[in-house]
């Protein structure tokens, strides 16, 4: 995809020169001559790079830079300065510009600066990615893949909540990306150098949970031979993600609310000795929040506090336009992990992926793509398509398992026959047979093995 560049400059000549050169080099360009309109265009167009003239009538480049940085800490902003205007340049860099270029000279120089900055950003992303892969840290907002309106909104919320300290409530079905989004909020915030603690709440007994979270003093309970810090204390000024908040016992939810309101809590057995928490809290749940409130699994007061900064991530089936991007993303990532060349998905596979309902959401898609990469072919997708179609047909028509069995056997028999015929037709050449059948060489071998067609050239009537 071409990178998008927004050029804001009131001078027509320099604007055009720049636009022309960038367009020639394959960038997508949006130009803006009236600085008042720059921010609106930025919101609409969501560029990868902003070229910003400093001196403009009306709003100047500094003001626009500040406003852009409030919205987006990552977008590449290059200031266009007049010759020898070093002081203003220093000021722009302090306000968060990535670099500057002198616009009165050759626009080629502007292009070099932009390309360098983009490369730098790419490298930073790569490093962040490698770190996250090795469990060193969470990923930033750029790693949330998807072009849907819903994901665009999620990313916007991530960036705006990253800059304040409100507790966040993340909701959405299992596998929609709540952990990923929580990590991104942490990563984009000023806490990114501090620990990110991902706490799985279910399964821990209530007493242990309190001890884990708040820490305990010596003698607080039978096995407490020594005082110990809790997760909140160890997290320092970092971020704590409380997974499945509705599973936390009600009285602990009340203590959490107190921390959110006052920043103060006590260790178990440490009554009277208050501790100040500096951590930021993010709560997540895949439960239906309204139902959890009704059944009192989630305290209403805690909910209201958390809901000041809500992020709801819709299920994948409600944002199908994200599927192809995600599928390709996972293929790229997984292939890179095991140093394999990337499998290309056919239109037929993609149609299935987009039509399928993904009850396990993005996690299910990720797992399927992992299987595609490991198997080196898209056969597993067709296999899944077959089973899904079969199940649907079974459900819709009320087909019994015997009938389904018969359909499967019939399909297999046709497939076996077609393979045998193709092999016969091309004198046993597997490569040609695979091409003729429109399947990959690997999948032909796989099927031949399954149908015991491997060693003999079958005779066909």
Q: Total residues contacting ligand ATP (rule CB under 6 A)?
A: 16
Binding flag, residue 148, ligand ATP (CB under 6 A): no
The one among 286, 346, 388, 432 contacting ligand ATP by CB under 6 A? 286
Of residues 138 and 230, the one with the C-beta less far from ligand ATP? 138
DSSP SS3 for 387: helix
In the chain, what is the straight-line distance between the N-terminal and C-terminal CA atoms, in Å?
51
Stretch that binds ligand ATP, among 64-72, 97-105, 142-150, 339-347 (CB under 6 A): 142-150
Dihedral pair phi/psi, residue 311, rounded to 5°: -135, 120
Of residues 61 and 183, the one with the C-beta less far from ligand ATP? 183
Question: What's the helix, strand, coil split of the chain in %, to 5?
Answer: 55, 15, 35
Of residues 114 and 313, the one with the C-beta less far from ligand ATP? 313
Binding flag, residue 176, ligand ATP (CB under 6 A): yes
Of residues 61 and 175, the one with the C-beta less far from ligand ATP? 175
Min dist. Cβ of residue 176 to Mg ion (A): 9
Of residues 61 and 315, the one with the C-beta less far from Mg ion? 315
Contact 47, 24 (CB under 8 A): no
Closest CA to 343 of 322, 374, 321, 320: 374
Min dist. Cβ of residue 285 to ligand ATP (A): 8
Of residues 165 and 179, the one with the C-beta less far from ligand ATP? 179
Min dist. Cβ of residue 156 to ligand ATP (A): 14
Contact 344, 373 (CB under 8 A): no
Return the C-alpha torsion angle 311, 317, 318, 323, nearest 10: 80
Give the whole-angstrom CA distance, residue 298 versus residue 248.
Answer: 8
Binding flag, residue 146, ligand ATP (CB under 6 A): yes
Closest CA to 184 of 137, 246, 229: 137
Contact 185, 162 (CB under 8 A): yes
The one among 172, 215, 238, 314 contacting ligand ATP by CB under 6 A? 172
Stretch that binds ligand ATP, among 84-92, 230-238, 362-370, 391-399 (CB under 6 A): 362-370
Q: 417 to 446, contacts with ligand ATP by CB under 6 A?
A: none
> What number of other Cβ atoms are within 10 A of residue 203's Cβ?
9
- Conformation bin of residue 186: beta by default, left when phi > 0, alpha when psi is -120 to 50: alpha
Rounded (5°) CA angle 447-451-457: 95
Binding flag, residue 175, ligand ATP (CB under 6 A): yes
Stretch that binds ligand ATP, among 48-56, 123-131, 169-177, 443-451 (CB under 6 A): 169-177
Spell out, one character per residue from 321 to 360, where the chain touches ligand ATP: x when CB under 6 A holds, - when not.
-----x----------------------------------
Of residues 133 and 271, the one with the C-beta less far from ligand ATP? 133
Contact 265, 253 (CB under 8 A): no
Of residues 8 and 180, the one with the C-beta less far from Mg ion? 180
Question: What are the distances in angstroms from CA 361 to CA 89, 143, 322, 350, 357?
Answer: 47, 17, 11, 16, 8
Min dist. Cβ of residue 340 to ligand ATP (A): 19
Contact 242, 200 (CB under 8 A): no
Q: Which two tokens stand for residue 204?
A: 């821990």
H helix runs in 192-245, sequence order: 206-214, 231-235
Min dist. Cβ of residue 66 to ligand ATP (A): 29
Q: Which position has the token pair 């602990």? A: 252
Min dist. Cβ of residue 72 to ligand ATP (A): 18
Q: 201 to 260, contacts with ligand ATP by CB under 6 A?
A: none
Q: Which position has the token pair 């100040």? A: 276
Binding flag, residue 363, ligand ATP (CB under 6 A): yes
Q: 179 to 198, contacts with ligand ATP by CB under 6 A?
A: 179-180
Contact 440, 377 (CB under 8 A): yes
Residues ≥6 apart with Cβ < 8 Å to 374: 334, 338
Spell out, one character per residue from 152 to 191, where the chain touches Mg ion: x when CB under 5 A holds, - when not.
--------------------------xx------------
The one among 144, 235, 368, 369 contacting ligand ATP by CB under 6 A? 144
Min dist. Cβ of residue 287 to ligand ATP (A): 10
> Where on the chain is the footprint of Mg ion (CB under 5 A)?
178-179
> Where on the chain is the footprint of ligand ATP (CB under 6 A)?
144-146, 172, 174-180, 286, 326, 362-363, 366
């Amino acid at each position: 995809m071409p990178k998008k560049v927004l050029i804001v400059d009131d001078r027509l000549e320099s604007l055009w020169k720049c636009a022309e050169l960038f367009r020639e080099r394959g960038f997508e360009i949006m130009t803006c001559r009236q600085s008042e309109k720059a921010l609106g265009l930025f919101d609409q167009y969501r560029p990868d790079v902003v070229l910003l003239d400093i001196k403009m009538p009306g709003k100047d480049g500094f003001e626009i830079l500040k406003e852009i940085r409030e919205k987006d800490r990552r977008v590449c902003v290059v200031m266009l300065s007049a010759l020898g205007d070093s002081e203003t340049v220093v000021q722009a860099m302090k306000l968060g510009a990535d670099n500057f270029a002198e616009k009165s000279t050759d626009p080629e120089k502007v292009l070099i600066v932009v390309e360098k900055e983009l490369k730098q950003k790419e490298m930073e992303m790569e490093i962040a990615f490698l770190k996250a892969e090795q469990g060193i840290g969470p990923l930033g907002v750029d790693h949330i893949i998807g072009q849907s309106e819903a994901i665009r909104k999620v990313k916007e919320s991530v960036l705006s909540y990253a800059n304040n300290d409100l507790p966040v409530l993340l909701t959405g079905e299992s596998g929609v990306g709540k952990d990923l989004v929580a990590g991104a909020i942490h990563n984009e915030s000023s806490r990114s150098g501090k620990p990110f603690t991902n706490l799985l709440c279910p399964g821990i007994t209530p007493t242990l949970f309190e001890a884990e979270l708040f820490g305990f003093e010596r003698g607080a309970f039978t096995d407490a031979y020594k005082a110990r810090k809790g997760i909140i204390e160890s997290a320092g000024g970092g971020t704590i993600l409380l997974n499945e908040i509705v599973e936390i016992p009600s009285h602990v939810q009340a203590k959490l609310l107190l921390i959110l309101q006052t920043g103060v809590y006590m260790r178990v057995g440490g009554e009277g000795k208050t501790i100040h928490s500096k951590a930021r809290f993010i709560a997540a749940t895949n439960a239906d929040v309204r139902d959890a409130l009704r059944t009192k699994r989630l305290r209403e007061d805690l909910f209201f506090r958390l809901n000041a900064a809500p992020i709801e991530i819709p299920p994948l089936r409600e944002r199908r336009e994200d599927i192809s991007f995600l599928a390709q993303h996972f293929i790229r990532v997984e292939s890179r992990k095991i140093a394999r060349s990337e499998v290309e998905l056919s239109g037929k596979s993609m149609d299935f992926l987009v039509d399928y309902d993904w009850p396990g959401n993005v996690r299910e898609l990720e797992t399927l793509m992992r299987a595609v990469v490991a198997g080196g072919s898209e056969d597993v997708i067709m296999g899944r398509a077959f089973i899904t179609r079969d199940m649907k047909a079974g459900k819709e028509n009320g087909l019994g398992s015997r009938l389904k069995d018969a359909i499967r056997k019939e399909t297999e028999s046709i497939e076996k026959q077609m393979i045998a015929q193709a092999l016969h037709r091309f004198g046993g050449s597997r490569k040609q047979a695979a091409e003729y059948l429109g399947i990959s060489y690997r999948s032909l071998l796989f099927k031949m093995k399954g149908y015991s067609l491997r060693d003999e050239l079958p005779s066909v009537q």
